[in-house]
């Protein structure tokens, strides 16, 4: 039985994400133990890693840094062992080189680019961007397998990941201009939207992530 580590570093409630992974595991017809953990060693041992994130980039980075050994464990499991990694919302943004929310904060630097304020061309569009939006698939990816062009996903965010390398853009969405909705390279993938709140689209994406052979 494989283990999915859902990293608990004080960034909000993880229950809906844990339940969504458990439910998606059922749909993927695979046996997984979902471990909500702040234990770096448990993350090291995990077969797959999910990093959620709610709130500000700087707060999340600080929270992650304050968990003893977690940054080192992530580097090991993600880089040296190449285990599948899914970042959700700010958890996805943390893969950037830096974030520009409340000053400049260094990110994990796994995907080139930076996190900047969402500035829709239409000033009538409210920030945060909150609600359902269509995904425009830019590059086929195993985690999007079976999802139709225009599948709807649920977003809550005020900042976006500006990618330096267009090859790392897997899907975009539009809110007064295009922004990165799914990013990834190698064994890394991240969603700006909340798959755990995106109903069928989210469950399909998580099930695909659980099946993903890197």
Partner 1 sequence: MAEIAIDKVDALKTADLHDLCDAADDAIRAGGGFGWVEPPPRDVMERFWKGVLVVPERVLFVARLDGVVAGSAQLVKPPRNNEAQAHAAQLTTSFVAPWARGHGLARRLTMAVMDEACSAGFRVLNLDVRVTQEAAIALYESLGFRRWGTHPFYALVQGKPLAGHFYCKDLQPAPQPPAQ
Cβ count within 10 A of residue 131: 11
Task: Identify residues 119-148 at the interface with partner 1 (CB under 8 A).
Answer: 128, 130-132
Q: How far is the CB of 25 from partner 1 (least distance, A)?
A: 13
Minimum CB–partner distance for residue 160 and partner 1 (Å): 18
Residue 127 CB-half CA count within 13 A: 11
196 carries an active-site annotation: yes
- Those residues with Cβ within 8 angstroms of residue 103's Cβ, 6 or more apart along the chain or in another chain: 58
Write the DSSP symbol of residue 89: T
Whether 194 sits among the annotated catalytic residues: the reply is yes
Does 26 bind partner 1 (CB under 8 A)? Our answer is no
Are 85 and 49 in contact, with CB atoms under 8 Å apart? yes
Please pick, from the candidates 29, 41, 183, 194, the single residue that binds partner 1 as defined by CB under 8 A.
194
Each residue 69-98 as x (binds partner 1 by CB under 8 A) or -, in order, gives ------------------------------
Exactly one of 3, 10, 23, 42 binds partner 1 (CB under 8 A); that residue is 23
Please list the alpha-helical segments (H only) found in 8-65.
Answer: 15-27, 40-45, 57-65
**Cβ nearer to partner 1, comparing 50 with 77:** 50
CB of 177 to partner 1, least distance (A): 21
Q: Which is nearer to partner 1, 110 or 159 (CB)?
A: 159
CA angle 13/19/21 to nearest 5° reads 110
Pick from 184, 212, 24, 179: which is nearest to 88 by CA?
184
Q: Enumerate the active-site residues.
A: 89, 194, 196
């Amino acid at each position: 039985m494989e283990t999915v580590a859902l990293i608990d570093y004080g960034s909000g409630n993880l229950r809906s994400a844990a339940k969504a992974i458990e439910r998606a595991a059922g749909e993927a017809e695979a046996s997984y133990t979902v471990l909500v953990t702040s234990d770096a060693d448990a993350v090291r041992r995990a077969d797959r890693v999910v990093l959620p994130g709610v709130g500000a980039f700087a707060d999340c980075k600080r929270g992650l840094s304050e968990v003893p050994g977690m940054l080192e464990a992530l580097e090991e499991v993600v880089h040296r062992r190449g285990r599948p990694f899914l970042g959700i919302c700010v958890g996805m943004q943390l893969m950037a080189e830096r974030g520009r929310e409340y000053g400049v904060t260094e990110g994990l630097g796994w995907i080139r680019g930076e996190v900047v304020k969402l500035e829709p061309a239409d000033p009538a569009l409210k920030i945060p961007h909150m609600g359902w939006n269509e995904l425009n698939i830019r590059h086929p990816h195993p985690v999007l397998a079976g999802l139709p062009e225009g599948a709807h996903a649920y977003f809550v965010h005020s900042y976006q990941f500006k990618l330096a390398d267009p090859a790392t853009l897997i899907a975009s969405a539009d809110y007064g201009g295009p922004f990165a909705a799914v990013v990834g390279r190698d064994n890394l993938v991240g969603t700006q939207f909340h798959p755990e709140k995106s109903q069928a689209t989210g469950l399909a994406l998580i099930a695909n992530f659980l099946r993903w052979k890197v």
